[in-house]
Structure 1
Amino acid sequence: KTIKPISREILLSFFDLYNDPVLCVVGEADFDEVVEAAERKITVKRMPPSKLKINKINKQAVERRKGLKQAHLVLAFHTATLRDRRRYALESFNAIFSDGGSSRLFQEIRDKRGLAYHVRSYPQIGVDYGHNLIYVGTDAGHVKQVKELILKEIKKMRELDKKEFEESKEQLIGRYKLIQEDSWMVALALLWEELAGSAEEFYRYEQRISELKLQDVRELGKLKRYSFAALVPK
C-alpha cells in the first residue's frame, strides 16, 4: 500500500525538490576541469538550511520471528548531532566502551561470559539527529542478561579513569591519521562536515579530540533514557 503507488514521476519530483548536491574531490585533479564538468552536469539549488525537528522517542519492543537462529538486540540512546561538538566525546566513549575486541563491553559479554559473538556500537550521526546503537547477537535465553550488562557497563563509564581516557584519545587521533591516507574516506568525511557547516572541521579533528575533557566522556555514562529492541527466535 505504501510502495506500489509511488511512480517514477513522484520519485523524480521528490529528487528535484530536495536534491542539493555537494561535490567533493580529493586527490590529483585539475580544479578548472572539475568546475567545468560540475557546471555542465550538476544543477545547484541553494536550499534553505534544514529546520527539521526530531521528536526524541524512547521505546522498548521484543518481537518473535520464525527462522531465526539467534536473538538480535539493540540498545540505543540519543546523542549529539554533527553540529554539536559533544559528538567527539561520543567517539571517545565508543572507543573505550564498545569498539573492537579490547573494548569494555566486548570483554564483559563475549570474552568473560561467552554470551555473544558479535558485540559492537554503531553511532548514527547526521545534521539533524544523533543516536548510538549498541548491537549484540546472542541466544534467546540471554537477552535479559545481556541488556542488563550493557546498562551496567554504561553506568560504570561514569567512573572512567584518566589513563583509559587518554589512551582512547591517542587511538582516535591515530585512526584519523590513517584515514587521511584513504582519498575515499577523506572525501566522505569532508562531505559530512560540509553538510554540517564547514568542511574545514575535518582538519580540526586532532585538535577537537585533544581538547576533550574526562568529564565530557563520563557524562555519557549518566544514561537516563534509551530505546531497546530485540528480535528473538519463535
Structure 2
Amino acid sequence: MKFQKRKLKNGITVMHEKRDLPLVSFGIANPFAGAHETAEIKGVAHLIEHLVFTGTKTRTHEDISREIEKKGGILNAFTANDVTAYWFKLPSEHLFNGIDILVDMLKNPKFDEEKFEKEKKVVIEEIKMYHDTPQRHVMEKLEENLYESPFGMGIAGTKESVTSLKRDFVKSLFDDKYSPENYFVTVVGDADFDKVCDYLEKEFQPGNKTYQALKIKKRNRESKEERTHIDQAHFAFGVHAPMPGEKELYVLDVLDAYLANGMSSRLFLEIREKRGLAYTVKSSLDFEKNYSHYSIYVGTTKEAIPKVKELILKGFEEIEKMTDQDLKESKERLIGLKKVSSEEGINVLNGLIFSEIANGNAEEYYKFEEKINSVTLEEVKTLAKKLPKTYSTAAIVPK
C-alpha cells in the first residue's frame, strides 16, 4: 500500500491511497456540517448537500447524474456532524470526468428558487421516513438524550427548521462556509497523484474563511415513547465514550467486540440465543472530532425492556470475567473486519476523511492493527467499570 498526502497552495489537503485495480474512489469533504448549526437552522448543512445536486450554471440534475452513471459510476454524498462529503466511484480512465463534475457542483451550484422549494419538501419527506422507522428513530432519540440541543436534534433537522429556511440565506451560507482551504480531497485507487493535485490547484482559489463547531453539551436522561400500529419495542442504551486521539477509544473497540458486536458476542448470546428476548442485538460506536458515544440496540417486547436493560448492565459487569483468550479473539475479529472492510475503496475513503478531521492525521487510519494489538486485558476491564456509571436510554414501544 502506498499513501501520499499533500497540502496545496490553495489550502486543499489531498490524500491518496494507490491501488492497482483500474478503479478509483474520489471524494471532496468540507468541515461544515450538523455540529455547526443552531437550533433555528438545524438541517441546513444537509439541505445544502441535497441542493448542490439539483444543478449548476451549465449542468442540470439529470446531466450530473447521467455523466457519472453512463460511465458505470456511482455518485453520492453524506452529511455527518463534523463534515459534509461528496464522492464518486468510477473506472480510473474516467477519473477526471468525475472530478470535473464535483468541482462544478461545488463552484457553481445554481440554487434555483423553484428547485430549492422542491428539495425542502424532499428533505421533509426524508425526516418523516426516519421518524416512521422506529429502529432508526430510537437511535435519534438516544442521541437527543445524550446531548443537549441543538446537537441532539438530528442532522436532517426538523420539519419546522427546514421549512423556515430561505433560498437567499442558504445560498449566502454556502458561499460563506464552502471554501477550498478547508477542503479534504481523498483518492483511493489507480490515479496519478500529481495530476490530481495540479488539477485541483488550478480549479480552486482560496477564500480565507474559517469556522468552528458549536460547543457540544453532554447530558444523560431516559425516555419512552408509545406508538400505535407497531408490534415490536425498540430499546437503545448509550454512554459517552472516549474521544478520538485517546487510547481508550481503541480499548472500547476491543470491549465492544467481546460484549455486543456480532452473533458470538456476550449480549447476543445472552439476550437472543439463551433467553429468546430479541431478534436484533447490535452495537455502534459513533464519533467524530468533537463527540463520541457507544450504543447498544435491542429489538424486543415492551415487557422485556427492564430485563434487557438489566442484562446490558450486567454484561458490562461480567467483562471482569474476560480471559486472555477472549482478548485475543476480540482483537483478531476487529483486525479481520478492518481488512475485509478495506477491500471497498469507499470505506477507506471515508476512514481517511474522518481520521484526518478527527485526529488531524489521516495516517492514524493505518495504525488500527497496531493500536488494537496494544490494548491490554486490564485496560478493557477498567473501562467496562467506568463507562456505565452514567448512561442514557431511549425506548419506542407499542401503545
Q: Given the two structures, how large is their TM-score scaled by the length of structure 1?
A: 0.92
Aligned partner of 2:328 in structure 1 is 166
CA shift, 1:38, in A, is 2.5
Please list the CA deviations of residues 100-153 of structure 1 after superposition, one character each: whole Å capped at 9, or x if unmatched.
110100000000000000000011111110001110011111111111111111
**1:122 and 2:287 aligned:** no
**Structural RMSD (CA):** 2.0
Quick one: which amino acid aligns to residue 119 of structure 1?
V
CA shift, 1:156, in A, is 1.2
Q: Distance in 1 between matches of 2:373 and 2:190?
A: 30
Quick one: which amino acid aligns to residue 202 of structure 1?
Y
**1:88 and 2:250 aligned:** yes
Aligned partner of 2:164 in structure 1 is 5
CA shift, 1:4, in A, is 1.6
Aligned partner of 1:227 in structure 2 is 392
Q: Distance in 1 between matches of 2:205 and 2:398?
A: 49
Given the superposition, is the C-alpha separation of residues 82 and 107 from structure 1 closer, same or farther in structure 2, using an over 3 Å criterion? same
Q: Distance in 1 between matches of 2:356 and 2:206?
A: 15
Q: Distance in 2 between matches of 1:89 and 1:44?
A: 40
SS at the partner of 2:297? strand
Given the superposition, is the C-alpha separation of residues 94 and 43 from structure 1 closer, same or farther in structure 2, using an over 3 Å criterion? farther
Q: Distance in 1 between matches of 2:369 and 2:396?
A: 39
User: Would you say how many aligned residue pairs link Structure 1 and Structure 2?
Assistant: 234
**1:200 and 2:359 aligned:** no
Given the superposition, is the C-alpha separation of residues 219 and 139 from structure 1 closer, same or farther in structure 2, using an over 3 Å criterion? same
Q: Quick check: 2:176–2:209 contact (8 Å CA) kept in 1?
A: no
Larger Rg: 2
Q: Distance in 2 between matches of 1:41 and 1:9?
A: 25
Q: Given the two structures, how large is their TM-score scaled by the length of structure 2?
A: 0.55
Aligned partner of 1:142 in structure 2 is 304
1:199-218 aligned at under 5 Å gives the runs 199-218=362-381
Given the superposition, is the C-alpha separation of residues 47 and 95 from structure 1 closer, same or farther in structure 2, using an over 3 Å criterion? farther
Q: Quick check: 2:242–2:248 contact (8 Å CA) kept in 1?
A: yes
Structure 2: gaps of 5 or more residues: 1-159
Given the superposition, is the C-alpha separation of residues 219 and 18 from structure 1 closer, same or farther in structure 2, using an over 3 Å criterion? farther
Quick one: which amino acid aligns to residue 380 of structure 2?
V
Given the superposition, is the C-alpha separation of residues 81 and 12 from structure 1 closer, same or farther in structure 2, using an over 3 Å criterion? farther
Given the superposition, is the C-alpha separation of residues 217 and 6 from structure 1 closer, same or farther in structure 2, using an over 3 Å criterion? same
SS at the partner of 1:115? coil
1:96-115 aligned at under 5 Å gives the runs 96-115=258-277
CA shift, 1:50, in A, is 4.7
1:150-189 aligned at under 5 Å gives the runs 150-189=312-351
**1:63 and 2:225 aligned:** yes
Identity %: 38
CA shift, 1:220, in A, is 2.6
Q: Distance in 1 between matches of 2:205 and 2:357?
A: 17
Q: Distance in 2 between matches of 1:213 and 1:6?
A: 50
SS at the partner of 2:337? helix
Quick one: which amino acid aligns to residue 70 of structure 1?
Q
Quick one: which amino acid aligns to residue 203 of structure 1?
Y
Given the superposition, is the C-alpha separation of residues 36 and 81 from structure 1 closer, same or farther in structure 2, using an over 3 Å criterion? same
SS at the partner of 1:200? helix
Given the superposition, is the C-alpha separation of residues 159 and 53 from structure 1 closer, same or farther in structure 2, using an over 3 Å criterion? farther
Given the superposition, is the C-alpha separation of residues 72 and 39 from structure 1 closer, same or farther in structure 2, using an over 3 Å criterion? same
Q: Quick check: 1:105–1:119 contact (8 Å CA) kept in 2?
A: yes
